[in-house]
């Protein structure tokens, strides 16, 4: 699997990966994208998308999250 632990999968810049404590979900803290989670299934899919599609997936995840929660990108958003 393509797993770039130190690179933001959305903006492709250096980011910090946090352990979410969940086996199938990775959490990133990115200077541009903020803090978000992405499932490993979604991560494998999103790496092949163009930058606009990646940003759109993150925007969708942020729109549907409750205040104070961390946006999670899953395969339904990609
Ligand atoms: Zn980013």
Ligand 1 centre from 36 Cα, in Å? 9
pLDDT < 50 stretches in the chain? 1-4
Q: Is residue 1 part of a domain?
A: no
Ligand 1 centre from 54 Cα, in Å? 10
From CA 49, how far away is CA 71, in angstroms rounded? 19
From CA 12, how far away is CA 68, in angstroms rounded? 25
Total number of domains in the chain: 1
Tell me if the pTM is above 0.85.
yes
Q: Is residue 43 part of a domain?
A: yes
Ligand 1 centre from 24 Cα, in Å? 19
Instruction: Read off the DSSP letter of residue 76.
Output: G
Q: Is residue 2 part of a domain?
A: no
Q: Is residue 66 part of a domain?
A: yes
Q: Is residue 8 part of a domain?
A: no
Ligand 1 centre from 45 Cα, in Å? 16
Q: Is residue 73 part of a domain?
A: yes
From CA 73, how far away is CA 59, in angstroms rounded? 9
Question: Could you list the residue range(s) of the whole structural domain that residue 61 is in?
Answer: 16-77
Q: Is residue 5 part of a domain?
A: no
């Amino acid at each position: 699997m393509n797993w770039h632990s130190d690179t933001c999968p959305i903006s492709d810049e250096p980011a910090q990966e946090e352990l979410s404590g969940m086996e199938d979900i990775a959490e990133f803290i990115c200077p541009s994208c903020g803090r978000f989670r992405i499932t490993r299934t979604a991560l494998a899919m999103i790496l092949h998308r163009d930058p606009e599609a990646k940003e759109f997936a993150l925007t969708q995840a942020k729109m549907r999250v409750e205040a104070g929660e961390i946006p999670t990108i899953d395969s339904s958003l990609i």
